[in-house]
Structure 1
Amino acid sequence: MGKTNLILGLKSLKKGKFSFFLSYPEISTFQFHFRNFDKTHFLYKISANGFHSNSIISNSESSVASFECFINIFDKLINDRPLPPIATFTSILKSILKVRHYSAAIPLFKKLCLLHDQILPDLCALNMNIECYCRLNQVDLGFSLLGKIIKLGYEPDIVTFTNLIHGLCAIKNSVDAVKLFHRVIDLGLQLDLYTYGALIKCLFKTGRNADALKLLRMRRLMGCKPDIGIYHMIMYGFCKDNLLSQASELFSEMISDGVLPTVTTYNLLIWGHGKLGQ
């Protein structure tokens, strides 16, 4: 918690200094093709130091075998000299994260960081490392990497903050999640609808229905129409707390927004009235 507050207070994060586009050096020694990882198609070609191989994994082979193949390639490349560009490693790591092997990806990131005198992890790699920690509910370690990003001279981007907000929401730390959310908005960055939904859900789960409603209205003012699931979530919270007038007001707002009610919507309101004996 203390580390989180420390990072949130960093004054070096100034508005307007964040980049949204990262360019990587062109890769000539590594051709990587990846599609439908769980079922088919893994093809790689490495021409560094004379190593040259092609491998295709068939439909009948398990994703475990495919995953282990990625690990083996990573280990071969990290022992190569000269080392391939950093984008080569991030391509492999992205594929590992796609199948949600977060705990297995972290040691690979550590191996990469040990070679800091030969190759520096870029912002993309560091963001993926943060995602791994946040997915594993180790958010403090994710925030420590935010400090490393700044120390290396990179500018944290929307991906960095989105990962951290999702991590805080996953451990139901709505206080710091909201603080970071407002900090991101102050920096002029725009969060996606999925992140808004995760934060609203976190507020709801921690009993902060009024704050969830404020966030929903803020999202609407920014031109993002919430989906009906968000309305139902907050409406349920109000009905559960016997705040039927707020639930009815939210129902009216939903209609005004052009979101059509469903059977679930009416069932929630009927349940709320029934709790109050109406």
Structure 2
Amino acid sequence: MGLCVPNEYTYNCLLEAISRSNSSLVDLVETRLTATLGSVRERKVSVGSIQNFVGENLFGNDEFDGESEIIQILKDHNKASLPDLDCLSSVINCLVKANEVDNAVRWYNDIMIKALCKARRATEADSLFNEMVSKGLKPSVATYNSMVDGWCKEGEIDLAMSCVARMYEDEKDPDVVTYTSLIHGLCASGRPGEAVSRWNEMKGRGCCPNEITFMALIQGLCKCGWTSEALVYFREMEAKEMEPDSGVYVSLVSSFLLSGNISEGFGIFREMVCKGRFPVLVDRNYMVAVDAADKSFC
């Protein structure tokens, strides 16, 4: 019998129950850490649980420094990328109630920078970022990551690199989120060699790639025609017992077929089917996979 893996709902129930009981805050923190650092794939905790945890268990408690604990919770929660806007709004509300106005303003700026970057309005986000710095507010790693990702999504890789340089000047270390954005952006801009260099730099600094980083590199290399290199990272990903999604398989199959390596493409296709990774009908990769199947069996 396989292991039954707890899901988002399970952890929300635990957080809710512990926060309403007389259990120690240490138990609550440990449960939160298990949820955020464990095997829950989406790594999401409900807004209600976050707000309840922050509002009732951190502020006004002598054991914890409110804002630093919030930052640590949300950093663990999303691996130093900003959480969703609802969670951030809850945090700002708690900060205002605790008279932490400067910190509330900084978190508000974080929200706006993230939103602007997501809307592909990185220039406006950059203006807000610079205004924030000019007022003496220190951007977090998450804020830098939003800017790096925003520039990458707009194809402004050199500006993204400049943003990383500013991180170093600000004594902030790039993390796996930073490198993932850079790797994706470099491949999308047709610079696979630099993407691999960043990958090596990341590992050399002791920053371990996660599933998303692996998939960004593999799919990016495939799009650049570096299929053999992509296969090496694919095998490394498998060796680490990480699970590639259907998009990774489809990218490899399509890239091998495009290069005329039918046998290798068919081999990856067969692995995809055997491991239950063939895209479902509503998946955007479905028609690509079907087309690849036709070519593989011709």
Q: Same fold (TM over 0.5)?
A: yes
Distance 1:44 1:227, change over 3 A: closer
Equivalent residue for 1:271?
Answer: 295
Tell me if 1:182 matches 2:206: no
2-side partners of 1:91 and 1:258: how far apart?
38
1-side partners of 2:140 and 2:279: how far apart?
46
Equivalent residue for 1:157?
Answer: 175
1-side partners of 2:105 and 2:290: how far apart?
57
2-side partners of 1:152 and 1:184: how far apart?
18
Deviation sequence 1:87-139 (CA, Å, 0-9, x none):
34223323444444333212111222333xx3333323222222222222111
Q: Percent identity?
A: 24
Distance 1:249 1:150, change over 3 A: same
RMSD: 3.8
* Highest RCO, 1 vs 2 (Cα 8 Å, sep ≥ 6): 1
**What does 1:69-218 correspond to in 2, within 5 Å?**
86-115=106-135, 118-218=136-236
Equivalent residue for 2:261?
Answer: 243
Normalised by the length of structure 2, the TM-score is 0.57
How far off its partner does 1:162 sit? 2.0
2-side partners of 1:138 and 1:245: how far apart?
38
SS at match of 2:260: coil
Contact 1:169-1:177 at 8 Å conserved across structures: yes
2-side partners of 1:258 and 1:273: how far apart?
19
Contact 1:86-1:122 at 8 Å conserved across structures: no
1-side partners of 2:103 and 2:293: how far apart?
62
Contact 2:85-2:111 at 8 Å conserved across structures: no
2-side partners of 1:239 and 1:91: how far apart?
43
Contact 1:25-1:87 at 8 Å conserved across structures: no
How far off its partner does 1:258 sit? 5.0
SS at match of 1:132: helix
Unmatched tracts of structure 2, length 5 or more: 1-36, 38-65, 71-83, 281-285
Equivalent residue for 1:226?
Answer: 244
Higher CA-based Rg = 1
2-side partners of 1:271 and 1:185: how far apart?
37
Normalised by the length of structure 1, the TM-score is 0.61
How far off its partner does 1:140 sit? 1.3
1-side partners of 2:290 and 2:122: how far apart?
41
SS at match of 2:244: coil
Unmatched tracts of structure 1, length 5 or more: 1-19, 28-32, 37-42, 48-79
Contact 1:130-1:164 at 8 Å conserved across structures: yes
Contact 1:113-1:120 at 8 Å conserved across structures: yes
2-side partners of 1:232 and 1:114: how far apart?
46
2-side partners of 1:171 and 1:224: how far apart?
26
